[in-house]
Amino acid sequence: MGKESFLFPRARYRGQVKPENLLFNANLQKFSQRVSYISSLETNGKISPEQSYQQIKALWEELKHSHKQLAIGQSSFNEDGQE
């Protein structure tokens, strides 16, 4: 096990396999890991609550942008089932 896989483990994706879902899942896992690190730093007094809030807010905006850009939850089919 390398340092990268130890610090940033990835869980297996079990949802509907589509490229945009896989990419969003990877982004979501990255978000979750970074929030965990930031909250640990804040809890241990290494960064201020305001710094942790700002960093998590920026990560959230990135994740939200990714969700919108990948069009997650938006169907390309109309009600007749055709594109």
Question: Residue 6 pLDDT more than 70?
Answer: no
Query: Residue 67's CB: how many other CB atoms inside 10 A?
Result: 15
For the full predicted model, state whether its pTM sits above 0.85: no
Query: Residue 82's CB: how many other CB atoms inside 10 A?
Result: 7
Tell me if residue 52 falls in helix, strand or coil: helix
Tell me if residue 69 falls in helix, strand or coil: helix
Question: Residue 80 pLDDT more than 60?
Answer: no
Sorting pLDDT into bands at 50, 70 and 90, what band is 62?
Answer: very high
